Amino acid sequence: MKKIYLIGFMGSGKSTVGRYLQNTYAQRFIDTDQYIEQTTQKEIRQIFADEGEEKFRKYEIHALQLLTDYDVIATGGGIVERKENYTTMHNHGIIIYLQTSFPEIMSRLKYDSSRPLWDQQITEREKLYERRHSMYEQIADHIIHTDGLSIEEISQEIMGVMNRNR
Ligand code: S3P
């Protein structure tokens, strides 16, 4: 069966939905950020501070290539920043974009300090959101508009996509 790659902006719910799919539908799930934190023994924020974004992107490319033994893979919001990631995802599975509006993201990440690229002026956050949105849209095989949907509803839609692609 093809894998599902969840893509989308920070705070769009990729990891939460992935965990739900694991707990409710017994899908083998992994999160690239979590994998990187475990293997480097460092938090993402610390990797950015000590080694820089470029090094983080290298860890991310490598993680994505290695993590082929799972049904559902939640990616970091910046997975679209490197072209080789498109190839990895397209070769192994189906790409689902969890599209969440900017106001909704703003409200979810109001108190977040764990994400280095969220730690900037609102205008810069919005620019990043707009730029990334068109990148996610371009590579997605399927888009789910998540505003107003429950985790359960989003997960059901994903299971539907998986079942149609068995
Ligand atoms: C990033 C998103 C984060 C994490 C890192 C960089 C980005 O993941 O990979 O902070 O470039 O958008 P989430 O999308 O899970 O927050």
Is there an atom of ligand 1 within 6 Å of 45 CB? no
Nearest CA residue ID for atom 16, ligand 1: 10
CA-nearest of 141, 4, 142 to 67 is 4
Is there an atom of ligand 1 within 6 Å of 161 CB? no
Residues in the chain: 166
**pLDDT averaged per 10 residues in sequence order, the chain, 166 residues:** 94 98 97 98 97 98 96 98 97 97 97 95 97 98 98 98 89
Whether the full predicted model's pTM is greater than 0.85, yes or no, is: yes
Find the 34 Cα to ligand 1 centroid distance in Å.
11
139: CB partners within 8 A, 6+ apart: 7, 80, 86, 89, 90, 95, 97
Is there an atom of ligand 1 within 6 Å of 76 CB? yes
Backbone angles phi, psi at 134, to 5 degrees: -70, -30
Rg (CA), the chain: 15
- Predicted confidence at residue 130, as pLDDT, reads 98
